[in-house]
Amino acid sequence: MPLTFNLTKQTLEMELSGNFSSYDNETEKTALFNAAAKARNILVKTSGLERWDSTLVVVLYELAKRADKQKTSYDFSSLPENLHRLVSLALEVDRNPPSPPSRTTPWLEALGGWGLNIYTGFISGLKFLGRLLTSIGRFLTGKAVMRPVDFLFALEDCGYRAVAIVSLVSFMVGLILAFVGAIQLQTFGAQIYVASLVTIGMTRIMGAIMAGIIMAGRTGASYAAAIGTMQVNEEIDALKTMGIPVTDFLVLPRTLSLLITMPVLTVLADFMGIFGGTFVGTVMLDISLQEYIKFSVDTFELDNFLVGVFHGFLYGMIISLCGCYYGVNCGRNADSVGMAATKSVVSAIVWMIVVTGILTFIFKVLGI
């Protein structure tokens, strides 16, 4: 056998001789490690060692690691110089580095950091909004660096391609709104007023909100992912190097396309929601189609309709602003692209709800 060992008075003497190329004798290695567990000193001799490779280095490394763990001394001085160097190098590398000490942040410091992060993000968002408004001003004066093909491509993406999903979801929302309202109205025999409920709800706010949420998840995330990928690929750096305004070239066409399509999609969502309510009223509540349409038309008010369209316009600005902001400020790896897309959707929906609350209060005060 190329490997022999003898345990005498807690001293393990191991003799390496012969050829240790591709050494894989598991029986010998197990017996060696069991003997080493009982020893206090380990002495390695290599007088007859001929050939060896990394398999022998692994055995010696494992033996040394077990000896260190058991506080056992070992002597590898008789190893050939190159083998001794490899074993020493393997022992120098710590494959399980200690975890950094955990530090508990005082609550006041954590609160201050949280507030500072919010303030920094808010200021950064305001600066981005300022650059976007400046780009819109340059567009109105014909000085913006924007290719028409980019605008048309963005218009196509958030235009007719979004019609199907907006129509389907808005139809289902109108259907659900009518069904939930009918449950209570039927108690008083006033199920005909389901038509009024759905018409007012969809035209004033629900149509705009549903279109906004759909476009935030569909288009806002797409903007963040597309621009974020350009950031990862250093394409945005290339645009800056060439002196091309990033806001004009990337953000402006996407913003203009949403400002145009969101009011149109809001109108579509309004009428699809009313159609969904009509389906419930005529099929489930046994209301005649003519009577349902009459109540819907009588309830329809231009003020409610324009309020909904105005909401849709603002939602388009919010969605494009959030999507493009997180895309431009994306990190330099693939994980950052996913985080940017997630943040854009969450931020857009949150800001839409906040803006809705503010506008609802303002319109209430103004009597609109």
Which amino acid, one-letter code, is at 94?
Answer: D
Query: Would the pLDDT of 304 be above 80?
Result: yes
Local structure of 356: helix, strand or coil: helix
- Please give the pLDDT value at position 45: 78
Residue 324 — very low, low, confident or very high, per pLDDT cuts 50/70/90? very high
pTM, two decimals, is: 0.71
pLDDT in tens, 27-71: 777 887 777 777 778 877 777 777 778 887 888 888 788 777 778
DSSP-derived secondary structure letter, 101: P
Q: Is 94 exposed, middle or buried (0-12, 13-18, 19+ CB in 10 A)?
A: exposed
First to last CA, the chain: 97
Domain boundaries, the chain: 3-92, 133-366
> For residues 274 and 231, what is the distance between their CA atoms, to the nearest angstrom?
43
pLDDT in tens, 65-108: 877 777 878 777 777 788 778 888 777 765 566 677 777 778 88
Residue 271 — very low, low, confident or very high, per pLDDT cuts 50/70/90? very high
Could you tell me the two tokens for 143?
A: 């000085």
Q: To the nearest 5 percent, what fractions of the chain are helix, strand and coil?
A: 75, 10, 20
> For residues 328 and 125, what is the distance between their CA atoms, to the nearest angstrom?
11
User: Of 40-49, 231-240, 257-266, 291-300, which has the strongest mean pLDDT?
Assistant: 257-266
- Please give the pLDDT value at position 95: 59
Q: What is the mean pLDDT of the chain?
A: 86
- On whether the CB atoms of residues 282 and 288 are closer than 8 A, the answer is yes
Window from 149-153, 180-184, 205-209 with minimum mean pLDDT: 180-184
Residue 208 — very low, low, confident or very high, per pLDDT cuts 50/70/90? very high
Backbone angles phi, psi at 275, to 5 degrees: -65, -40
Residue 160 — very low, low, confident or very high, per pLDDT cuts 50/70/90? confident
Spell out the residues 6+ positions from residue 69 whose beta carbon is closer than 8 angstroms to its own: none
Could you tell me the two tokens for 91?
A: 């022992």
- On whether the CB atoms of residues 266 and 207 are closer than 8 A, the answer is yes
> For residues 54 and 23, what is the distance between their CA atoms, to the nearest angstrom?
9
- Please give the pLDDT value at position 331: 84
Say which CATH class 3-92 falls into: alpha beta
The helix (run of H) or strand (run of E) holding residue 7 is: strand 3-8
- Please give the pLDDT value at position 351: 93
Window from 152-166, 179-193, 237-251, 271-285 with minimum mean pLDDT: 179-193
The helix (run of H) or strand (run of E) holding residue 5 is: strand 3-8
Other C-beta atoms lying within 10 Å of the C-beta of residue 338:
15
